[in-house]
């Protein structure tokens, strides 16, 4: 009588190795997702701080002075508007003088 009621040692080892590979892959994916979540959270909190600084006009650095020029086609009117460019972190703020 040839009863095959259980698994062989090779089948057990193969399924164990397959389980370990899948488990390690899922673990790596979860770690990478957690890392990306932390990086984006830090980035958005920095942007929030930059927005607050820009709204309160604090910690702004002068970047350059520009002149915005435009004309109206129908008439010979030329308008020059002086603009100051300031920077707060990653944000640029354009304001008229």
pLDDT tens-digit readout, 37-94? 999 998 888 888 888 988 888 888 888 888 888 787 777 788 888 888 888 888 888 8
CA-to-CA distance for 62 and 55, rounded, in angstroms? 15
Question: What is the model's pTM?
Answer: 0.51
The pair of structure tokens assigned to 57 is: 């006009």
Question: In the structure encoding, which two tokens stand for residue 27, read together?
Answer: 């673990």
> What pLDDT is attached to residue 93?
87
Q: Is 89 exposed, middle or buried (0-12, 13-18, 19+ CB in 10 A)?
A: middle
DSSP characters over 10-58: HHHHHHHHHHHHHHHHHHHHHHHHHHHHHHHHHHHHHHHHHHHHHHHT-
Place of tokens 């109206």: 72
């Amino acid at each position: 009588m040839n009863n095959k009621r259980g698994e062989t040692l090779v089948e057990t080892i193969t399924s164990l190795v397959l389980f370990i590979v899948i488990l390690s892959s899922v673990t790596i994916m979860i770690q990478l997702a957690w890392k990306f979540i932390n990086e984006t959270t830090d980035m958005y909190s920095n942007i929030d701080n930059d927005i607050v600084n820009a709204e309160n006009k604090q910690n702004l650095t002068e970047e350059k002075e520009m002149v915005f020029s435009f004309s109206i086609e129908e008439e010979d009117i030329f308008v020059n508007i002086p603009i100051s460019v300031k920077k707060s972190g990653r944000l640029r703020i354009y304001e008229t003088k």
